[in-house]
Amino acid sequence: MTVNSPRAAQPRRGARVLVLGGTAEARELAGALDAAGVPVVSSLAGRVARPRLPVGEVRVGGFGGPQGLARWLAEHGVGAVLDATHPFAEQMSGSAAEACEAARVPLLRLERPGWSERDGDAWHWVDDLSAAAALVPQLGSRVLLTTGRQGLAAFAGVGGAWFLVRCVDPPSPPLPPRHRLVIDRGPYTLAGELALIDAHGIDLVVTKDSGGHHTEAKLDAARRRKRPVIVVRRPPGPSVPTVGEVGAALAWLRSTTQAG
């Protein structure tokens, strides 16, 4: 659903569009814009060693905070920003909102819908990684931990449990004292996730509410094997116009460009 923002500036026709990326939705968005002849540059944070690159121009690295991003927008003639970062990339989304307001550049947030519980699920919602770590000893002893490589320090003090830690890139310590590291990236399959749970005797899954289909199979597998799941809620985001699908983001861009 789109949230309207009456104070937003209007993009200039033919102006460059900045896509804050790193997600499958961002790659799809950049591809659609490039195919339509819209000048687009995708920005990646640079936290993944071998990212999947979108088509078109790509920029890797930070901007130097909101002020640095605002300067970059002005210097590069950006007419609109589409924030398609991960639902937990709260710092980047906050910087984008502040920078676009200062530079008077219209901003849209493209955020995939979160996951929803289904019949047979045993989900336990928590507000952050520390709360997830505190809950682990009550629910399981052999844990599939899929919260990403950042924030694993929250689980370093969890004694008595064994963790299968799955990340895209090798994490930095501290890590859980008893663990095995698996370097892998989605999309995952139900058959593969069931095999993983069975092979390692997993009795608990810990994840963030990332949403999307690429990593949803672990939830289907946990339901099939009747395993509990600890789910970390998304952090609150900035109050900006938001849509949940690439098509809606493209429609927003067309409408705001025509209005301008």
Query: How confident is the model at residue 231, as a pLDDT?
Result: 98
Predicted confidence band of residue 4 (pLDDT cuts 50, 70, 90): very low
> According to the per-residue pLDDT averaged within each range, which of 9-23, 42-56, 171-185 is highest?
171-185
Q: Residue 183: its pLDDT value, please?
A: 95
pLDDT in tens, 213-254: 989 999 999 999 999 999 999 999 899 999 999 999 999 999
Return d(Cα 94, Cα 89) in angstroms, integer.
Answer: 9
| DSSP state at residue 37 | T
Q: What is the pLDDT of residue 260?
A: 53
Report the amino acid identity of residue 51.
P
For residues 237 and 93, is the Cβ–Cβ distance under 8 A? yes
* Segment 40-57, tens digit of pLDDT: 999 998 776 677 889 989
The model's confidence at residue 186, banded by pLDDT at 50, 70 and 90, is: confident
Provide the β-strand partners of residue 108: 82
Model pLDDT, residue 258: 66
* Class of the CATH-defined domain 123-232: alpha beta
Report in angstroms the alpha-carbon separations of 243 from 53, 82, 140, 177, 257: 23, 10, 36, 41, 17
| Mean pLDDT estimate for the chain | 91
CATH of 16-112+244-259, one of 3.40.50.300, 3.40.50.720, 3.40.640.10, 3.10.20.90: 3.40.50.720
Structure tokens at 246: 């690439």
Q: Rounded mean pLDDT of 23-45?
A: 93
Domain with CATH 3.40.50.720 in the chain: 16-112+244-259
Please give the model's pTM, rounded to 2 decimal places.
0.87
Whether residue 8 is predicted with pLDDT greater than 80 in this model: the reply is: no
Which stretches of the chain are DSSP H helices?
A: 24-35, 65-75, 90-103, 129-139, 190-200, 217-224, 246-259
| pLDDT at residue 176 greater than cutoff 80 | yes
**pLDDT tens-place string over residues 64-120:** 999 999 999 999 999 999 999 999 999 999 999 999 999 999 999 999 999 999 999
- CA end-to-end span of the chain, whole Å? 22
Region 203-211: mean pLDDT is: 97
